[in-house]
Structure 1
């Protein structure tokens, strides 16, 4: 082979070997790069799948919690429905029973059930009356501020009873003429039912006997404030019918304007205090049918949400397998 001075002379075999080695090295690098990218993609997909499964589990529990709460509230409303129906039935039965004499009620007040019918005669001690409230009253679209009037009664046999005489307007304590019309003198005959202390809500203030501030019926405390024995029973006087419980009859314009009626415009049927009628004791702010409807609503909400939560958890279980 002829050689020329000043040129690089390379053996063709060596050159071919170098080219082949470079190609193999490049192929190896490309293969490794492809494997790395595939592994990275696999890891990314795996992480995304794990995140999706975790999200499904989270949403499953998020949906199961309100479903369980709704079912619990539905069961609670069912219990309230049954207890309210029992109270209504017990009230009906109490109204059909014969009245008990005051002396018998005073001797066994602890064993008598609430709403036991009582009849008594005696003298009202108006100077010891206590106002409970304020307690507004609505009639024919007109709302008036007022109080519940509690007055002790001294019976002929010497026994005492607290009498819830009914509702009086806010002017009662300042209007002597109004009080005179509603404070009978001499012996009076009363009929009503035995009542227990009220159960105030958390928003009702505590009674303050020292300041004569009474917000709810606490029978022992009221008896003590009237200088009576703490076991003195409370009688709620009842009217014979709804006619005596009606207040002043406003005109149509008074109703539309929500204008309170002055006492001077009272009708002949207006007489204070205004006792409640028997049917008023059968009416509640939430009636038994309302509790039943609430229960159906909560159960329907639970039935709508529960399948969604179960579906999310099942999808998670299938993804694992």
Structure 2
């Protein structure tokens, strides 16, 4: 048997066709490199900057035309508005009450300056009966009506007694008594002569309570209703006589009746009533100013801009 020829290899002579280290054909295997090859790291490529795009011109904002009128608006605060209205009503009534007192007391002295008193009938026919001095003689009715009153801060009653005249009847104000002396007023009868001034029966102010004729509870001299409660007919439906000098308890000491005086029961001069009226109304205007300013500050009230 013929032996295969030998082939020279780096390991030496080996038979032809013998695989050496996994290589066929006797070809020498490549020797491994003693130095490991480091992987080549490719540096990151920086992104190229974007190409500049043409800048479009900004859209022009149309300017507000001069003279453009903005709309006015008002959004009231509910609770504040209700309270302000209530306060304004009270302030107005207080001022109106003081103004009425001022007007009454300012006009009264000129009327009361008449030189001599006249009869009740003549006084009622005069152009201005209020505070007209009169004198009357007639038969006094024993019945009386008590009207609640306040004099110098003291509560009590004014005693109204009807006097029967030749041509009718009229109430006379006999004076003021405190509540504790209301039942001590004596009952009068017979012929009587008085001097006084005509006064109009009306409410003192809007705060005066309403009368209750059924209970005989009177807060102001409602003369027709008072006469009807005594079953009197005819007479003076609008005026009564406030006596100049009064002594309702028949104590023998007469006093000046303040309701016959133009200054009234509280003796406050007219100018002071005017000051009180202006003060109350001034508070009302101040309240309106505060209310308006608060709504403007909070943006609830805006006024329209007039065209230029």
Provide TM-score, normalisation by structure 2: 0.53
Structure with more of its chain in strand, by fraction: 2
Give a deviation string over 1:137-179, Cα, whole Å, max 9, x none.
457xxx4x53211111233x4442211222124455643xx52
SS in 2 for 1:127: coil
Q: Report matched runs for 1:1-321 at 5 Å.
A: 61-62=76-77, 65=81, 84-97=101-114, 99-105=117-123, 108=125, 113=128, 115-133=130-148, 135-138=149-152, 143=154, 146-155=156-165, 157-170=166-179, 172=181, 174-175=183-184, 179=186, 183=188, 186-198=191-203, 204-209=209-214, 211-226=215-230, 227-229=232-234, 231-239=236-244, 269=253, 271=254, 276-278=259-261, 279-280=263-264, 283=268, 287-313=273-299
Determine the C-alpha separation between the residues in 2 that align with 1:70 and 1:215: 25
Q: CA deviation at 1:82?
A: 5.5
- Give the conservation status (yes or no) of the 8 Å contact 1:70–1:298: no
Q: Quickly say closer, same or farther: Cα 1:195–1:62, change in 2 above 3 A.
A: same
Specify which structure has the bigger relative contact order, considering alpha-carbon pairs within 8 angstroms and separated by 6 or more residues. 1
SS in 2 for 1:287: helix
Determine the C-alpha separation between the residues in 1 that align with 2:93 and 2:217: 35
Q: Quickly say closer, same or farther: Cα 1:213–1:93, change in 2 above 3 A.
A: same
Determine the C-alpha separation between the residues in 2 that align with 1:298 and 1:85: 19
- Give the conservation status (yes or no) of the 8 Å contact 1:95–1:117: yes
Which position in structure 1 is the counterpart of 2:54? Answer: none
Q: Quickly say closer, same or farther: Cα 1:172–1:274, change in 2 above 3 A.
A: farther
Determine the C-alpha separation between the residues in 1 that align with 2:87 and 2:207: 26
Q: Quickly say closer, same or farther: Cα 1:206–1:301, change in 2 above 3 A.
A: closer
Provide TM-score, normalisation by structure 1: 0.51
Structure with more of its chain in helix, by fraction: 1
Q: Quickly say closer, same or farther: Cα 1:300–1:123, change in 2 above 3 A.
A: same
Q: Which shows bigger deviation, 198-207 or 87-96?
A: 198-207
Q: Quickly say closer, same or farther: Cα 1:82–1:225, change in 2 above 3 A.
A: closer
SS in 2 for 1:313: coil
- Give the conservation status (yes or no) of the 8 Å contact 1:193–1:235: yes
Structure having the higher Rg:
2
Q: CA deviation at 1:230?
A: 5.6
